[in-house]
Amino acid sequence: MRNVTDRTSNPFGFRPPFDRSDPDDRTAVFGYGDANADFHVIGDYPGIHGGESTGVPFTETESGLAIQQLLRDIGFASGSWTRPTLENCFASYIHMCSLPDDEAPTAADYDDLERFFDAELRAINAHILLPVGEQATNRVLREYTTQRHRHDLDMATLHAKEIRGRGFLVVPIREPTSWVDGEASAIESQLQSLLASDYRQTKGVATVVG
């Protein structure tokens, strides 16, 4: 089933549950992109992956721009770097709300926003989940697969690895600021291979295996 919406940013009209942002920052960085996407890129929070000024995930910061460059290399992103056009790709965070500079979300903060992230993820209903970094990978493996206990949270090992989930194929991405030689090309090659495959079959296979 396809979503009937022409909204690129916050297509489902979420409202952030709190505002602890700095005066010049957006209250929250909502999900952004193609609401009918097959690929869903999942970041951590705006202070790491960007968007506090632009309101768009994976902008502004070093990590955010590295992920956006990957999306451009794959052919998912084009146009402006502050408000790119995304095709077959949706981007969002497990913690959408902006926080004061140098403040990271607590476990309780992540829990407070989990219902928003879960609702959006299930509404997008992508085939491939691409969590970026340890926090997002842990959340996705724990909540959307039965395999978290089978994997140490070693992002160097999990990077670009296919993991079958409950209705999804999960491909974790190591935090870009930690990439070493070959890791950028590894995730690009993995995504190119998925695009060249009949990846839409992963929904049924993942549901059975996961």
pLDDT digits (tens, 9 = 90+) for 46-76: 999 999 999 999 999 999 999 999 999 999 9
Reduced to 3 states (helix: H, G, I; strand: E, B; else coil), residue 191 is helix
pLDDT score recorded for residue 157: 95
Chain-centre distance of CA 85, in angstroms? 16
pLDDT score recorded for residue 10: 87
Give yes or no for residue 122 having a pLDDT over 70. Answer: yes
Strands 89-93 and 32-33, bridge-based pairing: antiparallel
How far is Cα 29 from Cα 117, in angstroms, rounded to an integer? 12
pLDDT digits (tens, 9 = 90+) for 88-107: 999 999 999 999 998 999 99
> Mean pLDDT across the stretch 182-205?
84
pLDDT score recorded for residue 201: 62
Give yes or no for residue 208 having a pLDDT over 80. Answer: no
> Mean pLDDT across the stretch 5-28?
86
**Which has the closest alpha carbon to 206: 97, 126, 93, 110?**
126
- Using the structure block, give the residue that is written with the tokens 């913690």: 95
How sure is the predictor about 108, in pLDDT bands with cuts at 50, 70 and 90?
A: very high
> Mean pLDDT across the stretch 184-201?
91
Give yes or no for residue 37 having a pLDDT over 60. Answer: yes
Backbone angles phi, psi at 121, to 5 degrees: -60, -45
pLDDT score recorded for residue 209: 32
H/E element, 85: strand 85-86
Please give the mean pLDDT across all residues of the chain: 90
pLDDT score recorded for residue 203: 54
What is the torsional sign of CA 63, 69, 74, 75? positive
Sketch the domain layout of the chain as residue ranges: 32-209
pLDDT score recorded for residue 153: 85
Q: Which residue has the higher pLDDT, 147 or 138?
A: 138
- The answer to whether the beta carbons of residues 165 and 202 sit under 8 Å apart is no
Q: Fold for domain 32-209?
A: Uracil-DNA Glycosylase, subunit E (3.40.470)
Its pTM stands at 0.90
